[in-house]
Amino acid sequence: MLTCAGRVVMISGANRGIGRAVAEKLYREGYTLSLGARRPAELGEALHDWDSTRLLVCPFEASEAPAAQDWVNATVARFGRLDGLVNNAGIARHAGLEDLDETALDELWVVNVKGPLRLTRAALPHLRQSGHGRIINVASLSGKRVRNDNAGYAMSKFALLALTHASRRAGWGDGLRCTALCPGFVATDLTRDVTKVSREEMISPKDLAELVAMVLALSNTASLAELLVNCRFEDML
């Protein structure tokens, strides 16, 4: 198991939901954190009692191309290193297979795929230098199967799994390990309109935060490529 002391981890979408739960868990574990948020002032205000020597809050808008490199640069400038990246920021839009209007599909692709890709690309040199760099991509069971008519969302999550495996391949020799975290329904704002599963039956963001902490702490010889998390029974998943 790797020690958390001194290790620097970036988390996108840290304002709320899964990202916020992960940030709170890793802070308690002793990690130094760089948190990316669309509204950094609000997040900084909420975390005013955290140790400022272990915390950096930066603006990050996944749809803006320069944002990834700017955030990585700010993190390394502040802490001098980077050991982990949690690509959590994402959106849910409905994009059906037969929809002629591709606006929703384009939004999904930019935020759910190109956002993590740009962060990975910018972070890769520093994660390689770490010798035990970690990337955790918060995907979905929708990246493993297609269960409804939202083809566009599933496509974006399938692509995120491909990015995970491409990143594992690119950085393996330098100690970089990458994991796709694939949960079912999670009790966050993203699922507030879901009625097929009650909030009480959904996965808690805190449980996912526990899994992220575990993956970050595993040694280089115990790598999890994909971690599937169910809240209801699914054949083969």
Catalytic annotation, residues: 153
Q: Is the dihedral of CA 80, 116, 139, 221 positive or negative?
A: negative
Q: Which residues contact 19 (CB under 8 A, 6 or more apart)?
A: 11, 12, 13, 35, 86, 88, 89
User: Residues 161, 143: contact at Cβ < 8 Å?
Assistant: yes
* Token reading at 202: 């959904």
Write down the H helix ranges in 30-150.
40-46, 65-79, 103-108, 115-130
User: Residues 118, 127: contact at Cβ < 8 Å?
Assistant: no
Rounded-to-integer distance, Cα 122 and Cα 103, Å: 27
Rounded-to-integer distance, Cα 136 and Cα 10, Å: 10
Q: Which residues contact 237 (CB under 8 A, 6 or more apart)?
A: 141, 144, 145, 228, 230
Rounded-to-integer distance, Cα 49 and Cα 52, Å: 8
Burial environment of residue 175 by CB neighbours within 10 A (0 to 12, 13 to 18, 19 or more) = middle
